[in-house]
Structure 1
Amino acid sequence: MPNPPKMDPQRGSRGRGVITLPAAGRKGDPPPWPLPGRMAAAEREAWAQLWATPQAVAWEQLGWTRTVARYCRVMVASEEPDAIAALLAQAVALEDRLGLTPKSMRLLLWQIAEDEVGQKREQSAGARGRIKAVG
């Protein structure tokens, strides 16, 4: 009996490769609010913040705008002092589905690209700080 092929951790079990998301996040304005009714001020702020994340690049490609809007609405409601536990549970579940936790990012095969330019800049700045002047 032949051995089954080994899973390639870089490609996942279904042959789909790892998706690298830009560390700087998604650029540009957030998409229009897709849900009926007006946005509350807290929802408007959260919507803008969510669409500036690295994960938003994938959401846009996948067309997950309505799901992100539902998460935004549930998240804001779950942060109210009198929120019921079910709202918090729903917010946590949506965070996982949207790749907003390290575990869910691994399961979705998403990783955030390293900012190599920024790292080199920090390294060179640190090295300059350690150089002593000889007089």
Structure 2
Amino acid sequence: MGPPPKSAGERRRRNATIAMTRLPAGGRQGDPPRWPLIDDVVASAQRDMARRQADEYELQLLEPDLQGRQRASVQRKLDAAQSAAMVLDKQIEAQAALEAELWRDLWATPQAVAWERLGWTREVAQYVRWKVKAEMGDLDASKEARQLGDRLGLTPLAMLRLRWEVAPDEVAEQRQERTTRAKRTARQRLRVVDSEGGSGAVAGS
């Protein structure tokens, strides 16, 4: 005869789905949290090392016995060290500016409401650092940024995995509906005017 049918309560529990967390379409309001990470240690160390090397080469050039090819070699090394320090300075400056901009933009998104509830401030900051490095040409950083972006729900598929969805923007929908209705009414008026104008022309002929 087979097993007895399951009760209605058991069937409901079996078919139950996890509710979606709705995030506001207007995004998170207010200022972003304080940036929690220190400066890029690797880039700062490389820049400081280049500066120290440049200082050492400048001291060598002050030695009166340094002449000919040796002097030219030290001068080339000095130029290279100064150039490296300058490039790293610009890189650190650009990275800081891009991080600040991306940090501000991310904390205005709908996902930022969930991050704030979950306390994911440092996780978002780590994504920002990897993402900026990726945009500056670091291929390994792009892989890290992609993985962190998925964890933070920055793609539609990642949002689905986290059971997040953006709530409909009812105000925007109403505004769009009013605009569409106004355009439709204007077209109807134009058709009426054209129709009346056409009738008059026929009557005049």
Structure 2-normalised TM-score? 0.58
| Residue 28 of structure 1, CA deviation | 0.5
Structure 1, unaligned stretches of length 5 or more?
A: none
For each residue in 1:64-91, what CA deviation from the matched residue of structure 2 results, as whole angstroms up to 9, or x when unmatched? Answer: 000000000000001113x12x211111
* Greater CA drift, 111-120 or 70-79: 111-120
Counterpart Cα distance in 2 of 1:74 and 1:60? 20
Structure 2 counterparts to residues 27-42 of structure 1, below 5 A = 27-37=29-39, 40-42=96-98
Please name the residue that 2:155 is paired with: 101
Aligned residue type for 1:54:
P
Q: Answer yes or no: is 1:71 the counterpart of 2:122.
A: no
Which residue does the alignment assign to 2:176?
122
Percent of aligned pairs with the same residue? 46
Listed one character per residue, the Cα deviations across residues 8-58 of structure 1 (whole Å, up to 9, x for unaligned) are 33xx2xxxx311000000000000011123770000000000100000000
Query: Which residue number in structure 2 is paired with residue 61 of structure 1?
Result: 117
SS of aligned partner of 2:14:
coil
* Matched residues, number: 127
Q: 1:129 to 1:98 in 2, by over 3 A?
A: same
More helix by share: 2
2:103 is matched with which residue?
Answer: 47
- Determine the C-alpha separation between the residues in 1 that align with 2:30 and 2:15: 37
| Residue type of the alignment partner of 2:171 | V
Cα gap change, 1:103 to 1:7, in 2 (>3 Å): farther
1:21 matched to which residue of 2?
A: 23
Letter in 2 for 1:41: A
Distance across 1 between alignment mates of 2:146 and 2:15: 29
Q: Which runs of 5+ in 2 are unaligned?
A: 41-94, 194-205
Distance 2:110 2:34 in 1: 18
TM-score by length of 1: 0.85
State how far apart, in whole Å, the 2-side matches of 1:8 and 1:92 are: 32
Q: Which has the larger displacement, 51-60 or 120-129?
A: 120-129
Q: Name the aligned partner's letter for residue 144 of structure 2.
A: Q
**Letter matched to residue 45 of structure 1:** E
Pick aligned residue for 1:90 from 144, 160, 164: 144
